[in-house]
Chains A and B, each alone.
Chain A
């Protein structure tokens, strides 16, 4: 187990370093960052001044090393737009995004697991078809459009929930539904497939033969085994959802890290953009790492791989 964890840690660190290189290199994809920051009406002297001030006149590997070293110490640079340290901008907003992500994954699990179990209990029944329909629709509906439809229905027509803002728990309801519905289909399908497979197993037949009730067999014996891959999928989905939060937070003007990312990119605020890509990637790496470890812990057969 220790060896397995160690190999995963090494992989995670290598991936993190590579991603940091890429997010740093993104700045150079725009050509000269000094010109981008200076704006359209800048004189050559302004540009030269900015180039020196931000350290763009140093060799690229030195700049990268400097940036990474500072980032590791929590110093992510200064936002050009807010003139404020990137870290102090990001942390409070990350709290909003994490809250949204947690609510959404809970919503997705509560929606998808029972649906998957019920669908697997009666394959090809109406309930199964209905669950499949909900899943297929969830994969095809653009999340920003669903968000707007919910705003029209619940904010404009019914007036039950606010359309935008971050002030109260009510602001989180609609974004949670949109983001959770986005994650639910994969969880539902995996639960259903896992249940169908587990229900074929000998120990289920034994349990039934012992005279245990159907419900007890389903939830105590079958679900416990079918849930193992779902747990790690949920962790991976959590990583993906932080990326999905960019779109959802923008629709609802929920002032989280995703909304900040969208605004910073629109404003060409490079340090914030770089830092957020890095942070979102780190979250993904962390959650997939967590998923791997959880998997290996729950299912010892996987450790050998």
Chain B
């Protein structure tokens, strides 16, 4: 007796799952990201020390890879705080700011982009004008200015980034919506008398979702780098918060003799941003392989 292999029907979702499992970048970046997110969530369990606790007797201990002891695997900073613990807690700051800023800008940019692409005409003109205004504002300068005037809390930094990074969402979703709008199923829904919100949420939005997710990953990476830059310049989140950008800024004072201090947090930002970008590229490959260049 032969066992008949009954293959499940090849739904678009299953096709995507298959592509995902075969995509090396997706698996690699996804694994590293998952590890970083888990480390951030379980920071209190993983961190060997309190990230805020100073130990002035154990200042500037070198990390293990430079011959230090295992008490502080990545060494201690100029206030004697454990670098590994600060690094693990720092992942929370970066991921939190990146996620929230990307969500805020996704809502603003998607609304503007979808409206412009769907209605065209005057609405489109207004949205394009808004995009031009936003692009003309220098992000770093405006971010620095707002943080300096409003104070450097986590919320100020997150919201200023969220309010500044929506341009790419608007640009990409505008053209994606224009494409979807010319599809017959949208015309069919309109002819059948579907109310506007139904057309927008049930016909347009699901079909531009893949663009939305890809841009969201890129902007999350962008927000993480900008937060680090603002904190590095002293106008982001305030010390003693264990932000990676702040850790580099503190390490900069010791650059001459203890340059290893800037290596760890910088590498952490680099790896996190690299993986988010690779993950975004992989999602684009998986959802729309024809869009590859």
* Number of chain A residues whose Cβ lies closer than 8 Å to a Cβ of chain B: 48
The stretch among B72-80, B113-121, B135-143, B189-197 that forms the contact with chain A is B135-143
A127 CB, min distance to chain B CBs, angstroms: 16
The answer to whether A281 touches B150, judged by C-beta atoms less than 8 angstroms apart, is: no
B interface: dominant SS: helix
> In the complex, A268→B145 CA distance in Å?
9
Given known A-B contacts A142-B269, A149-B266, A242 and B138 have beta carbons under 8 A apart: yes
A142 and B148 contact, CB distance less than 8 A: no
Chain A residues numbered 251-265 whose CB sits less than 8 Å from any CB in chain B: 261-262, 265
Contacts of B235-293 to chain A: CB distance below 8 A: 235, 245, 248, 252, 255-256, 259, 262, 266, 269-270, 273-274, 277-278, 293
Closest B residue by C-beta to A246: B140
B274 contacts which of A22, A137, A265 (Cβ < 8 Å)? A137
Query: What residues of A have a CB within 8 angstroms of the CB of B233 in the complex?
Result: 144, 246-247, 250, 262
Among candidates A29, A244, A288, residue contacting B135 with C-beta atoms closer than 8 Å: A288
A18 CA / B129 CA spacing, docked (Å):
10
- Residue A140 CB within 8 A of the other chain: yes
B205 touches A (CB below 8 Å): no
B232 at the interface (CB under 8 A from A): yes
Give 1 or 0 for each of B21-61: 1 = CB within 8 Å of chain A CB: 00000000000000000000000000000000000000000
Q: Which residues of B contact A273 (CB under 8 A)?
A: 145
B133: chain A residues at CB < 8 Å are 15, 18-19, 22
* Complex alpha-carbon distance, A265 and B141, angstroms: 9
Shortest distance between the CB of B264 and any CB in chain A (Å): 11
A15-B136, A139-B277 given; name 19 further pairs at CB < 8 Å: A14-B129, A15-B132, A15-B133, A16-B136, A18-B133, A36-B149, A141-B270, A142-B228, A142-B229, A143-B229, A148-B248, A151-B255, A156-B256, A246-B144, A247-B229, A265-B144, A266-B234, A280-B141, A285-B136
Residues of A within 8 A of B (CB): 11, 14-16, 18-19, 22, 26, 29-30, 36, 136-137, 139-145, 148-149, 151-152, 156, 189, 192-193, 196, 242-244, 246-247, 250, 261-262, 265-266, 268, 273, 276-277, 280-281, 284-285, 288
> Interface residues, chain B, CB within 8 Å of chain A?
129, 132-133, 135-142, 144-146, 148-150, 221, 225, 228-229, 232-235, 245, 248, 252, 255-256, 259, 262, 266, 269-270, 273-274, 277-278, 293
